[in-house]
Structure 1
Amino acid sequence: MPTQFDPAQFDPTQQFVRTNIMHTVVPHVHPSHITTVNKHIIDHQHHFPVTESVVNECCEKNTMCGTPYNHHCGPQPRW
C-alpha cells in the first residue's frame, strides 16, 4: 500500500514580544519675552512638573538538567 498522509495539525500561534530600545533626543526650546512698559515688568515663570511611573517585569527560566525517565521500555503496539 502507498504511504498515506493525514491532514496537518496546527498548534495555536505563539505570540512573542521583541523589545527594541531606541535613544531619541528631543530638544525643548522655551523662548521667553519680557516687556517693560511704563516701568511695568512682566515676569514669565516656567514650571516643569514631572510625573513618574514604574513597570515591574518578571522573567522565568526553565533549564533541563538531563532527560526525563522513560518508563515505556521497548516498542509499543500500534493499534
Structure 2
Amino acid sequence: MPAQTSPTQYASPQVSPSRQYVQRNITNTVVPHIHPSHLTTVNQHYINNQHYFPHTESVINECFETNTMCGTPFRPNGCGCSKRRGW
C-alpha cells in the first residue's frame, strides 16, 4: 500500500527575543571660540639735550738761561787750548 501523506502542519512560530544592535552616527561640529586681543606698540623717543661749555686755558712756562764767563778757564801747561773750540 502506498504511504499516505498528511497535509503539512504548521506549528506556532518560535520567536527568539530580538537582539539589539546599535548603530551610532556621529556628527562632529567645530565651534570656533574667538578670543581677540590687541597690541599697541608705543615707541618712545627721548631726547637728551646735553649742554657743553668748553673752556680752554693756556699755561706758558718760560725759562731764561744765561751763561756768564767770569774769567778764563784754567789751562795748565798750555794744554793746547788753541786746538779746542768753544773756550
Q: Same fold (TM over 0.5)?
A: no
Please, what TM-score do these two structures have when normalized by structure 2? 0.29
Compare the two structures and name the one with the higher strand fraction: 1
Please, what TM-score do these two structures have when normalized by structure 1? 0.32
Larger Rg: 1 or 2?
Answer: 2
Compare the two structures and name the one with the higher helix fraction: 2
